[in-house]
Amino acid sequence: MATPTPKTSFRAIDAFYCALALIVTDKLVLFWVRFSAKHSWNFYYFWESTTGLICSVSIQGLLWLFWALWFSRALNTREFILKLGLNQKINPYGYVAAWVAILIVWFEGYYRSHWEVAVKNVNHIDHALVGSYYVFFVVETIFLMPFVEEIVNRGFMYSALREKYKMPLCVFLIVVFSIIFHWGTITSSFSTFFCLTLSFILFCVVRENTKSLWNCILCHGVSNAAAILLWYPTIILMICLLPFVLLKARDSENKEVN
């Protein structure tokens, strides 16, 4: 039997503190990286390597998780996990939402290729990337960052804001926060701005209507996979996932009947 998800005891003010801490630490780390790269060619080449990418993702991910855990005021990691709903599984609602997320990315690509003439910063994978750098880039984009971002954004901050504010305001605040951290990508074109914003809203709606954070992580992950043009693996993954989602849904119905 799955462990029930306890009612959150997050505080809305802590969500604002967490957002501020993330923004400040991100700027400090970025300043340190630029300063070091400017004054040391060895550091520059290291930071551009696969090892540098791993360090960059690790630093960012650990900082995000640390601040979320700190401001959540959870007694321990297990309590934090239960409050987020990471003990729950993906359900049909999240599965259907994941297809919607894929459709949003497809629409962005279609719109840009047919109606937008110039794009200054395309958020697609660089096919010049090779070897281990390419592999880790894909793993980071599809698995690591969606996992970390959903824990912080929808798992903690959105849930904390919902303790005090109504859904529309909470969605707006989370979308604004997400835009700040995706500024370079989201300002590349109108279609990217529109579709990314729509995706952020979708993730919030999924969080609002499901107890499992894995639904948000799935939506975010397949959205990123489609965004870097891994269409076939994404579609195959979604098709393979369907039987497990349906089985989970059937088990849930049987429990309710009993």
Per residue in 192-217, pLDDT tens? 999 999 999 999 999 999 989 999 99
Q: Could you give the number of structural domains in the chain?
A: 1
Residue spans of alpha helices (H) in the chain: 12-39, 41-47, 50-72, 77-84, 92-115, 131-139, 145-150, 159-162, 167-181, 183-186, 190-209, 213-227, 231-257
214 within a domain of the structure (yes/no): yes
78-112 burial, b for 16+ CB within 10 Å, e for fewer? Answer: eebbbbbbbbbbbbebbbebbeebbebbeebbebb
Could you list the residue range(s) of the whole structural domain that residue 233 is in? 76-257
The fraction of the chain above a pLDDT of 90, given in percent, is 71
- Region 175-204: what's the mean pLDDT? 93
2 within a domain of the structure (yes/no): no
The answer to whether 101 and 200 are in contact (CB under 8 A) is no
88 within a domain of the structure (yes/no): yes
Evaluated on CA atoms 103, 219, 184, 19, the torsion sign reads positive
7 within a domain of the structure (yes/no): no
Which residues, in sequence order, are CB contacts of 118 under 8 Å at separation 6+?
none
159 within a domain of the structure (yes/no): yes
The region of weakest confidence among 18-27, 30-39, 75-84, 152-161 is 75-84
189 within a domain of the structure (yes/no): yes
| Mean pLDDT, the chain, whole residue set | 89
33 within a domain of the structure (yes/no): no
Q: What is residue 29's predicted lDDT score, i.e. its pLDDT?
A: 95
Q: What is residue 250's predicted lDDT score, i.e. its pLDDT?
A: 81
Put simply, whether the predicted model's pTM sits higher than 0.85 gets the answer yes
The region of weakest confidence among 45-49, 115-119, 185-189, 217-221 is 115-119
Q: How many CB atoms lie within 10 A of CB 185?
A: 16
* pLDDT for residue 179 is more than 80: yes
Q: What is residue 28's predicted lDDT score, i.e. its pLDDT?
A: 96
* pLDDT for residue 2 is more than 50: no
Q: What is residue 205's predicted lDDT score, i.e. its pLDDT?
A: 97
Q: What is residue 241's predicted lDDT score, i.e. its pLDDT?
A: 95
11 to 6, 50, 68: CA distances (angstroms)? 15, 39, 12
Give tens-digit pLDDT for 83-132. 999 999 899 999 999 999 999 999 998 888 777 654 444 445 554 556 78
Among 120-134, 145-159, 181-195, top mean pLDDT goes to 145-159
185 within a domain of the structure (yes/no): yes
Q: Taking Cα atoms as reference points, which of 93, 105, 122 lies closest to residue 208?
A: 93
